[in-house]
Amino acid sequence: MPSRTAFVTGAARGIGAATAARLAEDGCAVAVVDLDPAAAMEAAGKINAAGGTAIGIGCDVSDETQVADAVARTLADLGSLDVLVNNAGVLRDNLLFKMSVDDWDTVMSVHLRGAFLCSRAAQKHMVDNRSGAIVNTSSVSALGNRGQANYAAAKAGIQGLTRTLAMELGPFGIRVNAVAPGFIATEMTAATAERMGVSAADLQAKTAEITPLRRVGTPADIANVVAFLASDDAGFVTGQTLYVDGGRRL
Ligand code: NAP
């Protein structure tokens, strides 16, 4: 029987799917939470087929009721909620003068409101248990990125949220940290390449050239760090944002 339960958002594909699979390997039962219920169940099915324990839950993380329901379902079906990974994300890139209010609101809603709602819902159980770990997903874009005013602001906001929740929840044995990925090869960056009119492979090769480690990241590169931050090995680490970017921002 798994000893911990993880709730991973945006876990049907990309970094979230790799994180859910890695946490399952580490012995967690996993709630695979995603906007698309069928994709969430498919990803959970893969974890179960590999010998893990997972359930798939359809949930829009920006919707308060859906988040409350997803957390309640996790507690009912898996018995606990010990690790929360706020990973769900979307892009609506545009230069400021072309950015619509909808582009701004969508990105804020999924990244910031979503992390707030999931953290608030999960902390209740964690506080009762006097134990828990939350890992948020920031980005190197938090430092500023042309065409991403909405996304950069949301990802910088995630860092402030992380530090503040670490202060508030630390006395209850709950650690809160963030991972800030650089360029990771996923559908998100493939979509960016398409918008730029280049192939995903070309954008990856160009990015690798200007990255000290001379490669782009994989979802597993991020999943490994999330797994560490969620584990007891990081038992005295809280309020931190760890950049995982191959040295790109040096
Ligand atoms: P991805 O491949 O686009 O996957 C994102 C997942 O989030 C999708 O399964 C998507 O579901 C889900 N999602 C979107 N909106 C949601 C909502 N409202 N509620 C629940 N789930 C939702 O992205 P990724 O590259 O793995 O990125 C994961 C996280 O890392 C994001 O927070 C992203 O900002 C961050 N990040 C990525 C990179 C990178 O280079 N890839 C770099 C820095 C930070 P649908 O498919 O149904 O829309």
> Is the shortest distance between the CB of 12 and ligand 1 below 6 Å?
yes
* pLDDT for res 43: 98
* pLDDT for res 107: 98
> Is the shortest distance between the CB of 245 and ligand 1 below 6 Å?
no
pLDDT band at 146 (very low <50, low <70, confident <90, very high): very high
- Measure 16 CA to ligand 1 centroid, in angstroms: 7
100-119 per-position pLDDT tens digit = 999 999 999 999 999 999 99
Domain boundaries, the chain: 5-182+218-243, 185-216
147-195 per-position pLDDT tens digit = 999 999 999 999 999 999 999 999 999 999 999 999 999 999 999 999 9
- For residue 176, the surrounding DSSP H or E stretch is strand 174-181
Q: What tokens appear for 143 in the block?
A: 């430092």
Q: What tokens appear for 194 in the block?
A: 């398409």
> Is the shortest distance between the CB of 26 and ligand 1 below 6 Å?
no
pLDDT band at 3 (very low <50, low <70, confident <90, very high): confident
* pLDDT for res 120: 98
The CA distance from 141 to 150, in Å, is: 10
- Measure 240 CA to ligand 1 centroid, in angstroms: 21
CA-closest residue to ligand 1 atom 29: 87
* pLDDT for res 69: 98
Task: Of 28, 102, 1, 79, give the one whose Cα is nearest residue 11.
Answer: 28
The CA distance from 8 to 47, in Å, is: 13
182-235 per-position pLDDT tens digit = 999 999 999 999 999 999 999 999 999 999 999 999 999 999 999 999 999 999
* pLDDT for res 113: 98
Residue 200 has phi, psi (to 5 degrees) of -60, -40
- Measure 174 CA to ligand 1 centroid, in angstroms: 25
> Is the shortest distance between the CB of 137 and ligand 1 below 6 Å?
yes
pTM exceeding 0.75: yes
The CA distance from 169 to 176, in Å, is: 8
Which residues, in sequence order, are CB contacts of 132 under 8 Å at separation 6+? 81, 82, 83, 84, 122, 123, 125, 126, 169, 172, 173, 174, 175
Flag whether pLDDT at 2 surpasses 90: no
Sheet holding 4-9, edge to edge: 53-58, 28-34, 4-9, 83-86, 132-137, 174-181, 241-244
Task: Of 125, 23, 108, 38, give the one whose Cα is nearest residue 74.
Answer: 125
Active site residues: 151
pLDDT band at 19 (very low <50, low <70, confident <90, very high): very high
The CA distance from 94 to 163, in Å, is: 29
The CA distance from 107 to 18, in Å, is: 22
33-77 per-position pLDDT tens digit = 999 999 999 999 999 999 999 999 999 999 999 999 999 999 999
Level-2 CATH architecture, domain 5-182+218-243? 3-Layer(aba) Sandwich (3.40)
